[in-house]
């Protein structure tokens, strides 16, 4: 182990190091690949960053916490899950990032999410380090009492590793406002402190306005910037959204406000195809439906009499595709289908939803493609605003936060243009990665390469 060193700054050498340190961490390796592939030429051209030690450190988490989460189910069985918190990088501020409860969670997935968070948080322009956590616990079919017990057990271990100055979790898949409330309540009992240690709280007890909407709204603000930059507009464009959770719902809401026609949404079982378009009222039905963890999007089709199919919605013809469910949900063949159907823009609401091959195809076909670390950064940006409000013990209005969110998304778009322009085309992946990297690398160098 001690002999493992980065031999040179090349993609092969970096991936070899990742594999040697942590064999088989496929999702983490994919995230490192995506970032490094696009920044290596920049690093080689800039002496300041052309340093194997710096790159070795940026791909190694500062700290990884894994713990047992014991809980009791409704039938009185003693159950156990595994909990994680990867505190990846604190060069820019306290560790910041969500918690995911999903059966697929493992160390590789949490590491990929925390790694992506480094560059995303840097792009927001706020002082946020990066982390991610969660558990392989499946919230589906659980009673509310089981959820409360699980959340209490989870934070009963994690609480000693976090604080409002050190590490501030938030939500992600399977962790919404309800779960944040249960986690926060138990943290408060354990510490007797009412602090901004977690974001995504209800507004009545310290949460920020616009935090529930932030990721989805931010995504559409980014898409609008992207289209305007290329002389296009949102008006009358058809939109396909995957997922029907937090990000997907508010992406849909803002897309409707912008005058687009949303024709599909999905869950892990299948997708609805509403040729008449999802309306505000129909979206309210989805929001209500999804309050119960086990409800399925198929119930929308039953209620409104539209098509429902198993699988993913990428075979549908649309102008704008917004993957808002999970990683690797859009493959090369899906990208091919979308391109053949004339897609104009693909913007990621989820983290790493498009595979590397899909992204390359979009870029080759001149589809406007936005990577999640840029286009879904609105959520963590408003989390950062929630931290500021908590620290100052004040609350900003909906309009104030929404305006700040719009400014952050515009500025991220601008950074992508600045560092990603290549002749006629903008490589948003490259722009986001380089802009995100520069700020973190400068801070690490200034702090003695730690
Ligand atoms: P939710 O739990 O609210 O919703 C997740 C949605 O994605 C559900 O519709 C779910 O379907 C679907 N989904 C989850 N896993 C899978 C899977 N393996 N295959 C197919 N569909 C799946 O989560 P969020 O909306 O908060 O998160 C969605 C994505 O956005 C994630 O990638 C997350 O990391 C990312 N993100 C979230 C942010 C936030 O602020 N919440 C911020 C930035 C990014 P089902 O109900 O069937 O499981
Ligand atoms: O992936 C993400 O950026 C999130 N899940 C939100 C993180 C946060 O701290 O608000």
Choose the catalytic residue: 111, 120, 132, 201: 132
Centre of ligand 2 to C-alpha 408, Å, is 15
Domain ranges of the chain: 1-60+429-450, 63-194, 214-375
**Burial bucket for residue 202 (CB in 10 Å: 0-12, 13-18, 19+):** middle
Residue identifier of the C-alpha nearest atom 42 of ligand 1? 379
CATH fold of 1-60+429-450: 1.10.285
| Tens digit of each residue's pLDDT (9 = 90 or more) over 218-230 | 999 999 999 999 9
The rounded distance, in Å, linking the Cα atoms of 90 and 129 is 4
Closest by CA to 309, choosing from 323, 297, 320, is 297
CATH code: domain 214-375 is: 3.40.50.720
Centre of ligand 1 to C-alpha 350, Å, is 7
**What integer is the mean pLDDT of 39-63?**
97
Handedness of CA 395, 399, 400, 405 (dihedral sign): positive
Closest by CA to 385, choosing from 213, 211, 194, is 211
| Tens digit of each residue's pLDDT (9 = 90 or more) over 347-390 | 999 999 999 999 999 999 999 999 999 999 999 999 999 999 99
**What integer is the mean pLDDT of 129-143?**
97
Full-prediction pTM beyond 0.75? Answer: yes
CATH fold of 63-194: Rossmann fold (3.40.50)
Pocket test for ligand 2, best of 172, 211, 348 (most atoms within 8 A of CB): 172
| Tens digit of each residue's pLDDT (9 = 90 or more) over 386-418 | 999 999 999 999 999 999 999 999 999 999 999
Q: At 2, is the pLDDT very low, low, confident or very high (cuts 50, 70, 90)?
A: low
**What integer is the mean pLDDT of 301-325?**
98
Strands 345-347 and 368-370: parallel
CA dist 104 to 81, 136, 295, 356, Å?
A: 12, 6, 19, 20
User: What's the confidence (pLDDT) of residue 391?
Assistant: 97
Find the angle CA(146)-CA(148)-CA(154) to the nearest 5 degrees.
Answer: 100
| Tens digit of each residue's pLDDT (9 = 90 or more) over 84-94 | 999 999 999 99
Residue 320 · residue 237 · CB < 8 Å: yes
Q: Residue 328: is its pLDDT beyond 70?
A: yes
Write down the mean pLDDT value for the chain. 97
| Tens digit of each residue's pLDDT (9 = 90 or more) over 107-121 | 999 999 999 999 999
| Tens digit of each residue's pLDDT (9 = 90 or more) over 263-301 | 999 999 999 999 999 999 999 999 999 999 899 999 999
Centre of ligand 2 to C-alpha 363, Å, is 26
Q: Residue 375: CB within 6 Å of ligand 1? A: no
- Ligand 2-lining residues (CB < 6 angstroms): 96-98, 120, 170, 172, 199, 351, 379-380, 383
Residue 415 Cα to chain centre, angstroms: 19
* Burial 157-170, CB ≥16 within 10 A → b, else e: bbbebbbbeebbbb
Q: Which atom of ligand 2 is nearest to the CA of 382?
A: 10
Q: Which ligand is nearest to the CA of 376?
A: 1
Q: Residue 215: CB within 6 Å of ligand 1? A: yes
Residue 352 · residue 112 · CB < 8 Å: yes
Q: At 450, is the pLDDT very low, low, confident or very high (cuts 50, 70, 90)?
A: confident
Q: Residue 1: is its pLDDT beyond 70?
A: no
The rounded distance, in Å, linking the Cα atoms of 28 and 110 is 8
Do 214-375 and 63-194 fall under one CATH topology?
A: yes
Q: Which atom of ligand 2 is nearest to the CA of 96?
A: 9
What is the token pair recorded at 39? 């920044």
Q: Residue 29: is its pLDDT beyond 60?
A: yes
């Amino acid at each position: 182990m001690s002999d493992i060193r980065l031999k040179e700054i090349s993609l092969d050498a970096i991936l070899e190091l990742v594999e040697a340190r942590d064999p088989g961490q496929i999702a983490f390796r994919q995230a490192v690949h995506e970032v490094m592939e696009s920044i290596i030429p920049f690093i080689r051209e800039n002496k300041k960053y052309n340093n194997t030690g710096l790159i070795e450190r940026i791909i190694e988490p500062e700290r990884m916490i894994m713990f047992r989460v014991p809980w009791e189910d409704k039938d009185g069985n003693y159950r156990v899950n595994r909990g994680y918190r990867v505190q990846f990088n604190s060069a820019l501020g306290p560790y910041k990032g969500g918690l995911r409860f999903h059966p697929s969670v493992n160390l590789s997935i949490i590491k990929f999410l925390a790694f992506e968070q480094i560059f995303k948080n840097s792009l927001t322009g706020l002082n946020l380090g990066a982390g991610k956590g969660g558990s392989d616990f499946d919230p589906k079919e659980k009673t509310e009492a089981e959820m409360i017990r699980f959340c209490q057990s989870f934070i009963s271990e994690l609480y000693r590793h976090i604080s409002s100055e050190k590490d501030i979790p938030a939500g992600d898949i399977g962790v919404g406002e309800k779960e944040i409330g249960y986690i926060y309540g138990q943290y408060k009992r354990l510490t007797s402190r009412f602090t901004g240690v977690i974001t995504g709280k209800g507004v009545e007890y310290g949460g920020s306005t616009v935090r529930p909407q932030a990721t989805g709204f931010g995504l559409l603000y980014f898409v609008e910037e992207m289209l305007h930059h290329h002389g296009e507009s949102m008006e009358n464009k058809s939109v396909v959204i995957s997922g029907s959770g937090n990000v997907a719902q508010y992406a849909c809401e803002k897309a409707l406000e912008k005058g687009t026609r949303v024709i599909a949404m999905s869950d892990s079982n299948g997708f609805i195809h509403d040729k008449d378009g999802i309306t505000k009222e129909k979206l309210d039905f989805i929001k209500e439906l999804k309050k119960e963890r086990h409800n399925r999007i198929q119930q929308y089709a039953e209620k409104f009499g539209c098509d429902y199919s198993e699988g993913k919605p990428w075979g549908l013809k649309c102008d704008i595709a917004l993957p808002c469910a999970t990683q690797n949900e859009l493959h090369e063949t899906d990208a091919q289908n979308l391109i053949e159907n004339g897609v104009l823009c693909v913007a990621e609401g989820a983290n790493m939803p498009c595979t590397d091959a899909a992204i390359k195809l979009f870029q080759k076909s001149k589809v406007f493609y936005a990577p999640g670390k840029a286009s879904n950064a609105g959520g963590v940006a408003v989390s950062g605003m929630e931290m500021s409000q908590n620290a100052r013990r004040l609350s900003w209005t909906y309009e104030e936060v929404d305006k700040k969110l719009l400014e952050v998304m515009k500025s991220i778009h601008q950074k992508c243009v600045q560092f990603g322009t290549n002749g006629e085309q903008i490589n948003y992946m490259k722009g986001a990665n380089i802009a995100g990297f520069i700020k973190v690398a400068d801070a690490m160098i200034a702090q003695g390469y730690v």
